[in-house]
Every structure is written in C-alpha cells, then in structure tokens.
C-alpha cells in the first residue's frame, strides 16, 4: 500500500448579518498502491496513485433564524501516476510501462442547515460529480526487439492514452446536538453514486484501437458515522468517532489496481480553540484506524492461487498471471 498526504485549511468571514463567505483547501480523495518487483500481479499494476485536491470558495445566506443555504465551487486538481511490468518474450527481464498526468476538474457543493432547536441542527449537503481527463503518453522502457515491433504495429508505442475518470456525486445528511457546554453528539448518513463510475479511455495517436469503457461492476455505497465532542476546559475540545463505508464492489469483481472494500474507521483527536474568539492558529492532532476489506494481494491470490503455489522460484515467470490479465481485461472492457 502507499502513503497519501492529507490536510485542510479553511477560512470564513461574515460580510453582513445575512451573508458569509469562505474558502477551503483540502484533500478530496486519495488512493495509492505499491508492490514489489516479484508481485504476481505486476503485469496488472506495480504502482498506482490517484489523488484529488480541492480549492472551494463558498458563500452562505441566513434565510431565516432557523434556515440557511450555502453553495461552493469545487476546483479539483487530479494527479494520476501508474506503472506496470511488461512481459518480454524469452529470457529477457521485464520491461515497464509508465503513465502520468494531471488535470483540473470542476464541480459544485450545495448545502442547507436547519436549526431545529437551540442546541440541535440538521444539515444536508450535495456534492456534484467531477470529471477528470488525463492525457497519458505511453512511456515504455526495457522492451526487447520482438515486443517493440509488436507494440509499434498495434499503435501502442509512442501513443497517448486519453482516460476519463468521474469522481462520484454524493449526498450527506448530518445531525448535531449539544447536551451541555461540555458534551455534544453528532452523526452522518451518506450515499455515493459509484454505480455510474465507468472509467473510459482511448488512444489519441493509435486510431486502430477504439474507444472503450471499463465496467468495474461498481455499486452505490452507504456511509454511517457517529461521534462525540468533549470540552474539558474552554480552550480544548476532544473528539472521538466511528465510521463505516460499504464496499463499492463485490469480492468477485474487485480488481488489483483498485482494491476497494468496506471500511471501518475510528478517529480520535483534540482541537485547541482560537485565541480571543478571533482568527488564529488551531492545533489539531488525530489518529485514524482503518480496516479495509479484501486487499489487492488477496484479490490476486484468489484469482491466481495456482500461480503463487507453482512459481515459488523468482526465476520462473508466472505466465498464468498474464492469462489472468487478458481474461480480466476482456471481461471488464467493452465498447462505449
């Protein structure tokens, strides 16, 4: 697995008694995988990175004493990096394919806040989908003469893969209640539209290869979270929460390059209050424990168990893994 940096920075300011503005900079999503050179699924993936960072200016309006509306403009920077081994015929060592690019996509965030009682609030937030389009030049290294000729004839050598990924839309219902000056309880119910996510690609300089969609058999996901906040002293807040996200894919359809699974998270941390009630630094430390369903290696072991059993010697190239790759791609790729 890989390491993904995370962080956020927010600023808000009241313009009038009715209007407020703000801006947020935060990591929207991230996924990273990294495997060793002898990984049986290296012809599918060795390393992959997909990260989204968002800049979101926003404005809110206090319509009534109990109802407020807000909207934000999501400017997302997407970063994609991918590496996989290429099987050279004969005794030659593996070659390698590298793809990488960045893109900027746009979306919207709309929210409503209802003050049911003085200490109870309900919120509803919708985040629109964001499309990221990557132009990925095929950077092959370490190819033998046979594979170089074959890729050249197919149009893959020195071509550009144009890939489009849609970040799914989501809807979140939130609740918050203050029991007293020290204790508060909060919770979330959420939905994400993973079912509509179908990455597609085509070769910009390889006209012999048609446009295709990758149907990963994703399904919509649900999110449930509950947490509490405790203020032992006025200048400090402690928090503890638990969250669950359902899997976007079944075990049978999970792929090596995107091993999504159900996730359980526990979060604990502390926040230092702003000095004098105004703008100022805040110290926030937290620890996140996460369990994800079946791993990428588990997905490969389940599909290619005989490869792992039969090829313990690193000098033996796991040819069944190549067949697995072809079968897996033919099952998941169809014309758009």
Q: Name the residue with tokens 């990758």.
A: 214
How is 156-188 classified by DSSP, letter by letter? -TT-EEEEEEEEPPEEEEEEEEESSSSEEEEEE
> What local confidence, expressed as pLDDT, does residue 21 receive?
95
**Torsion sign (Cα): 28, 167, 256, 143:** negative
Give the domain range for residue 227.
Answer: 8-335
Domain assignment present for residue 3? The answer is no
CA distance 187 to 196: 27
Residue pLDDT, tens place only, 103-138: 999 999 999 999 998 899 999 999 999 999 999 998
> What local confidence, expressed as pLDDT, does residue 186 receive?
95
Lowest mean pLDDT among 34-38, 222-226, 283-287: 283-287
CA distance 246 to 189: 12
How is 8-36 classified by DSSP, letter by letter? EEEEEEESSSSEEEEEEEEEEEEEEEE--
Residue pLDDT, tens place only, 266-312: 776 655 554 444 444 444 555 555 555 545 455 555 554 433 333 33
Is-above-0.95 flag for pTM? no
Domain assignment present for residue 42? The answer is yes
| Residue 213 pLDDT class (50, 70, 90 cuts) | low
Q: CATH number of the domain at 200, please.
A: 2.40.160.60
Which helix (H) or strand (E) is 301 found in, with range?
Answer: helix 296-303
CA distance 313 to 297: 18
The two tokens of residue 264 are 């359980």
> What local confidence, expressed as pLDDT, does residue 301 receive?
54
Domain assignment present for residue 1? The answer is no
Mean pLDDT of the chain: 78
Q: Which of 229, 320, 216 shows the shortest CA–CA distance to 258?
A: 216
Domain assignment present for residue 2? The answer is no
> What local confidence, expressed as pLDDT, does residue 178 receive?
92
Inter-axis angle of helices 319-332 and 296-303, nearest 10: 100
Task: Quote the number of domains for the chain.
Answer: 1
Mean pLDDT to the nearest integer, 52-75 = 96
CA distance 26 to 81: 20
Domain assignment present for residue 210? The answer is yes
pLDDT of 88 higher than 50:
yes
Domain assignment present for residue 240? The answer is yes
How is 242-268 classified by DSSP, letter by letter? EEEE--SS-GGG--SS-----EEEEEE
CA distance 213 to 332: 8
Q: Which of 86, 107, 112 shows the shortest CA–CA distance to 97?
A: 86
């Amino acid at each position: 697995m890989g390491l993904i940096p995370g962080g956020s920075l927010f600023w808000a300011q009241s313009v009038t008694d009715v209007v407020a503005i703000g801006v947020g900079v935060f990591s929207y999503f991230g996924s990273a995988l990294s495997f060793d050179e002898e990984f049986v699924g290296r012809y599918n993936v060795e390393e992959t990175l997909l990260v989204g960072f968002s800049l979101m200016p926003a404005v809110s309006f206090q319509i009534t004493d109990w109802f407020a509306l807000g909207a934000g403009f999501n400017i997302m920077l997407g970063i994609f990096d991918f590496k996989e081994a290429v099987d050279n015929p004969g005794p030659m060592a593996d070659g390698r394919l590298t793809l990488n690019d960045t893109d900027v996509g746009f979306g919207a965030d709309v929210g409503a806040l209802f003050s049911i009682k003085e200490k109870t609030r309900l919120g509803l937030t919708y985040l629109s989908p964001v499309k990221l389009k990557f132009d990925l030049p095929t950077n092959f290294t370490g190819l033998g003469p046979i594979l170089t000729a074959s890729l050249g004839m197919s149009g893959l050598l020195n071509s550009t893969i144009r890939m489009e990924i849609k970040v799914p839309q989501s809807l979140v219902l939130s609740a918050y209640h203050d029991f007293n000056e020290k204790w508060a309880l909060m919770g979330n119910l959420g939905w994400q539209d993973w079912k509509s996510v179908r990455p597609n690609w085509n070769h910009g300089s390889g006209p012999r290869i048609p446009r295709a969609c990758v149907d990963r058999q994703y399904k919509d996901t649900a999110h449930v979270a509950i947490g509490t906040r405790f203020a032992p002293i006025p200048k400090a807040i402690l928090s503890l929460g638990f969250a669950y996200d359902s899997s976007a894919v079944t075990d049978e359809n999970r792929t090596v390059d995107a091993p999504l699974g159900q996730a359980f998270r526990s979060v604990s941390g502390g926040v230092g209050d702003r000095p004098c009630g105004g703008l100022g630094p805040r110290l926030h430390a937290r620890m996140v424990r996460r369990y994800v369903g079946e791993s990428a290696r588990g997905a490969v072991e389940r599909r290619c168990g005989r490869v792992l059993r039969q090829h313990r010697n690193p000098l033996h190239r796991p040819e069944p893994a190549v067949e697995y790759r072809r079968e897996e791609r033919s099952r998941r790729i169809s014309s758009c």
